[in-house]
């Protein structure tokens, strides 16, 4: 089996939060769905956009393999409700990095329109597009006019349309439960053939793993505890061959919150409050918004009802032990990431360099140190982690 | 008064359907609303005069889920089959809230099968000046005051930490979402309500915060010869709150 070291790539993932919250924001139990947009200040929004785009441009100059973006609605969590616009804005400002739209929730668009938008981005960027297809969080279904009770069935059908639009010469027809097309024939078509690389995004629910396994796509796990994520990838590795697909390390994409500094102490001091903001504030919402009716199965709901929620809670010790959060010197960060890549046999790391309400200088410092000190340690395959834990090919 | 309900399971076009029955007499079918908490003992007085059937809709209570049931018409078809299985010919139909939406739609198509019809705070109509509350916007912990004026009439509140309760509530909300996530009415219903040709009684709690009592004027205008009885102080679950409302149903059906 291919090993992660052979094809290791680092994407920087920017959520582009709107972090200028009112002083009394803690009184709101959710900063999603119903947190009033009267709190949005367009002047500040302009400044955030300028700054965040500059950070992504810097990442391209520093040599990151991908610039990852995603989309959310009705929330301070994301300034990208139309993430394809941000992707389009970044294309002429960047040159080498892949533009990773991770991504538009398929259910919120007509699938032919999404095929068109993504094809435009791929052609405009000369084939730099990579996409991930999320079902969308539960919160998106409260914010949009889509029935969560049919979300999964609609998603499967939308995916069929999208692929048909990209893989069959048009015009074709499509006759489904949710969509019907008389002339499916979108112009343009993607630069990459037959289409840009696709990942399925999810929390590790059986349904989303199944879709990735059936199609042989990558699985991009959202930020969940390490144990849950490893189970997800294990399941993916087991299921994929059943459908005639080979698991390769680029198909296990994981998220990590990383902060690099001169010493472990300085790193903790500089990042801790921003990690706290991410978990306590940016992701704060209610169980009801996370799971609108029918969005998950009753079996999954039963599991969730028994488990602790990650949205809106912050336990530093638990986070740093059970989640992929690492801060410290380049050696520490590289060693930890190496171990994570090894244990998941993953060659794709989505690094959160901009964390919560982190100021620009820290993002620049973190991104630069990571690119110049951490990535070479891992790419060189001479790190302590790789040397200690590397398993001979075929031993697993 | 505690009712000795008998429970039976029927296979209705592939959907296991739980039917509770009690009492003796002419058949009376009660179609429940979007929630099933609290049980049906408020129907006790009716069991003295009628054989009362309380089927759980597919997706609710002890009936199985059927993800293909996404319209009121699916429920109408389901009940036609159940009536055949139970060998019920003509019967009295009482529908509450969402069950009133089912019952009124059923009656527009199958009045010949009905003796009389009772609609209790029925959903299903769009009355722009007096809109039906959006149940999906109401937080579960804030629901009770929407349902009744006298909360004691609803019995002890459910334990929000009871996982079985939480899971079943989610399951029933999911069934309701399949049907009514977009809207809790049928824009075409007003066009066809005149087809109801049996005596019809409309019952409402005057303080109903889910389906406002002011909607009763539209219903009574559209269903020729129907009568309206309102009760106060009472909310949406008027049958739980007002024994005299249940009594009024009995008197109407036996008159």
Confidence of residue B86 (pLDDT cuts 50, 70, 90): very high
Q: Does B143 touch chain A (CB under 8 A)?
A: no
Helix (H, G, I), strand (E, B) or coil at B129: coil
pLDDT tens track for B177-196: 999 999 999 999 999 999 99
CB B123 within 8 A of CB B130: no
Mean pLDDT value across residues B70-86: 98
Q: Which residue of B has its CA nearest to A299?
A: B167
Domain count, chain B: 1
Q: Does B134 touch chain A (CB under 8 A)?
A: no
Mean pLDDT value across residues A175-181: 97
CB B58 within 8 A of CB B65: yes
**In angstroms, rounded to a whole number, what is the distance separating the alpha carbons of residues A42 and A52?**
15
pLDDT at residue number B160:
79
> Which residue, B237, B252, B145, is CA-closest to B202?
B252
pLDDT at residue number A313:
72
**In angstroms, rounded to a whole number, what is the distance separating the alpha carbons of residues B247 and A386?**
79
pLDDT at residue number A204:
85
For residue A355, pLDDT beyond 70: yes
- Average per-residue pLDDT in chain B? 96
pLDDT tens track for A203-222: 888 888 999 999 999 999 88
CB B243 within 8 A of CB B45: yes
Element (H, E) at A115: helix A111-124
C-beta atoms of A293 and B181 within 8 A = yes
pLDDT at residue number B25:
97
Output the domain CATH number for residue B132: 3.40.50.1820
Q: Does B166 touch chain A (CB under 8 A)?
A: yes
Which chain B residues are Cβ-neighbours of A150 within 8 angstroms? Answer: 70, 178
3-state secondary structure string, chain B?
CCCCCEEEEEEECCEEEEEEEECCCEEEEEECCCCCCCCCHHHHHHHCCEEEEEECCCCCCCCCCCCCCCCHHHHHHHHHHHHHHCCCCCEEEEEECHHHHHHHHHHHHHHHHEEEEEEECCCECCCCCCCCCCHHHCCHHHCHHHHCCCHHHHCCCCCCCCHHHHHHHHHHHHHHHHHHCCCCECCCHHHHHHHCCCCEEEEEECCCCCCCHHHHHHHHHHCCCCEEEEECCCCCCHHHHCHHHHHHHHHHHHC
For residue A392, pLDDT beyond 60: no
C-beta atoms of B181 and A291 within 8 A = no
For residue A202, pLDDT beyond 50: yes
Which chain A residues are Cβ-neighbours of B176 within 8 angstroms? Answer: 293
ipTM of the complex: 0.92
Domain carrying residue B143: 6-254
Mean pLDDT value across residues B22-37: 96
Whether B1 is in a domain gets the answer: no
Q: Which fold has domain A4-389?
A: TIM Barrel (3.20.20)
For residue A390, pLDDT beyond 50: no
Determine the distance in angstroms separating the CA of B247 from the nearest CA of chain A, rounded to an integer.
Answer: 36
CB A303 within 8 A of CB A351: no
For residue A300, pLDDT beyond 90: no
C-beta atoms of A298 and B171 within 8 A = yes
Q: What are phi and psi of A383, to 5 degrees?
A: -70, 160
For residue A80, pLDDT beyond 90: yes
Q: Please give the C-alpha separations between residue A130 and each of A125, A217, B21, in angstroms, as whole numbers.
A: 11, 12, 59
Confidence of residue A394 (pLDDT cuts 50, 70, 90): very low
pLDDT tens track for B235-251: 999 999 999 999 999 99
Whether B43 is in a domain gets the answer: yes
pLDDT at residue number A221:
85
Which sequence spans correspond to the domains of chain A?
A: 4-389
- In this structure, the strands spanning A172-175 and A129-134 are unpaired
pLDDT at residue number A384:
47
Q: Which residue of A has its CA nearest to B178?
A: A149
Q: Please give the C-alpha separations between residue A44 and each of A19, A49, A364, B224, in angstroms, as whole numbers.
A: 10, 9, 20, 60
Which chain B residues are Cβ-neighbours of A288 within 8 angstroms? Answer: 139-140
Which chain B residues are Cβ-neighbours of A148 within 8 angstroms? Answer: 177, 181
Which chain A residues are Cβ-neighbours of B167 within 8 angstroms? Answer: 298, 301-302, 305
Whether B61 is in a domain gets the answer: yes
C-beta atoms of A294 and B166 within 8 A = no
Q: Which residue of B has its CA nearest to A153?
A: B67
Determine the distance in angstroms separating the CA of B45 from the nearest CA of chain A, rounded to an integer.
Answer: 35
pLDDT tens track for A118-127: 999 999 999 9
Q: Does B136 touch chain A (CB under 8 A)?
A: yes
Q: Which two tokens stand for residue B169?
A: 């509530």
Which chain A residues are Cβ-neighbours of B182 within 8 angstroms? Answer: 145, 147
CB A154 within 8 A of CB A107: yes
Give the nearest partner residue to A302 out of B139, B167, B178, using CB atoms: B167
Confidence of residue A393 (pLDDT cuts 50, 70, 90): very low
Q: Which two tokens stand for residue B98?
A: 């969402």
pLDDT tens track for B229-239: 999 999 999 99
Which chain B residues are Cβ-neighbours of A306 within 8 angstroms? Answer: 163
Q: Does B163 touch chain A (CB under 8 A)?
A: yes
């Amino acid at each position: 089996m291919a090993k992660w070291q052979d094809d290791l790539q680092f994407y920087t993932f920017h959520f582009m939060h709107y972090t200028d919250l009112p002083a009394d924001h803690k009184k709101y139990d959710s900063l999603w769905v119903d947190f009033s947009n009267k709190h949005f200040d367009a002047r500040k929004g302009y400044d955030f956009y300028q700054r965040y785009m500059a950070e992504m441009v810097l990442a391209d100059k520093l040599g990151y393999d991908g610039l990852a973006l995603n989309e959310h609605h009705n929330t301070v969590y994301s300034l990208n409700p139309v993430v394809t616009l941000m992707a389009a804005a970044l294309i002429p400002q960047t040159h080498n990095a892949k533009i990773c739209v991770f991504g538009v929730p398929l259910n919120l668009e007509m699938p032919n329109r999404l095929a068109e938008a993504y094809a435009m981005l791929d052609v405009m960027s000369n084939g730099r597009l990579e996409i991930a297809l999320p079902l969308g969080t539960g919160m998106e279904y409260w914010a949009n006019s889509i029935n969560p009770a049919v979300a999964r069935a609609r998603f499967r059908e939308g995916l069929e349309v999208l692929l048909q639009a990209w893989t069959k010469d048009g015009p074709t027809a499509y006759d489904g439960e949710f969509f019907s097309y008389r002339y499916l024939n979108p112009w343009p078509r993607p630069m990459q053939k037959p289409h840009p690389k696709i990942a399925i995004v999810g929390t590790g629910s059986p349904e989303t793993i199944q879709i990735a396994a059936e199609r042989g796509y990558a699985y991009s796990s959202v930020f969940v505890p390490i144990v849950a994520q490893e189970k997800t990838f294990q399941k993916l590795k087991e299921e994929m061959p059943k459908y005639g697909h080979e698991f390769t390390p680029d198909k296990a994409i994981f998220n990590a919150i990383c902060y690099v500094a001169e010493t472990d102490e300085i790193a903790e001091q500089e990042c801790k409050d921003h990690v706290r903001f991410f978990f306590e504030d940016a992701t704060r919402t209610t169980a009801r918004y996370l799971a609108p009716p029918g969005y998950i199965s009753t079996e999954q709901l039963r599991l969730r009802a028994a488990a602790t929620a990650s949205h809106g809670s912050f336990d530093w010790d638990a986070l740093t032990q059970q989640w992929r959060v690492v801060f410290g010197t380049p050696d520490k960060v590289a060693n930890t990431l190496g171990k994570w890549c090894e244990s998941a046999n993953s060659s794709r790391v989505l690094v959160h360099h901009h964390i919560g309400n982190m100021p620009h200088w820290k993002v620049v410092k973190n991104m630069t140190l990571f690119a110049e000190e951490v990535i070479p340690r891992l790419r060189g395959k001479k790190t302590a982690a790789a040397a200690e834990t590397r398993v001979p090919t075929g031993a697993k | 008064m505690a009712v000795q309900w008998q429970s039976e399971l029927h296979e209705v076009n592939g959907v296991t359907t739980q039917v509770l029955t009690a009492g003796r007499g002419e058949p009376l079918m009660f179609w429940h609303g979007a929630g099933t908490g609290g049980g049906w003992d408020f129907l006790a007085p009716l069991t003295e005069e009628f054989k009362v059937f309380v089927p759980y809709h597919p997706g609710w209570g002890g009936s199985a889920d059927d993800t293909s049931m996404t319209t009121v018409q699916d429920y109408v078809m389901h009940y036609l089959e159940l009536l055949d299985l139970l060998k019920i010919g003509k019967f009295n139909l009482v529908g509450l809230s969402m069950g009133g939406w089912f019952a009124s739609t059923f009656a527009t198509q199958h009045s010949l099968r009905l003796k009389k019809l009772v609609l209790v705070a029925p959903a299903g109509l769009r009355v722009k000046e007096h809109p039906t509350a959006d149940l999906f916007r109401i937080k579960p912990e804030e629901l009770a005051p929407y349902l009744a004026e006298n909360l004691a009439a609803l019995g002890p509140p459910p334990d929000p930490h009871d996982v079985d309760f939480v899971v079943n509530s989610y399951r029933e909300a999911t069934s309701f979402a399949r049907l009514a996530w977009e809207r809790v009415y049928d824009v075409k219903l007003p066009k066809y309500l005149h087809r109801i040709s049996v005596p019809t009684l409309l019952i409402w709690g005057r303080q109903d915060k889910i389906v406002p009592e002011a909607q009763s004027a539209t219903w009574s205008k559209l269903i020729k010869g129907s009568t309206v009885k309102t009760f106060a102080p009472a909310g949406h679950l008027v049958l739980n709150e007002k024994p005299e409302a249940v009594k009024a149903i009995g008197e109407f059906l036996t008159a």
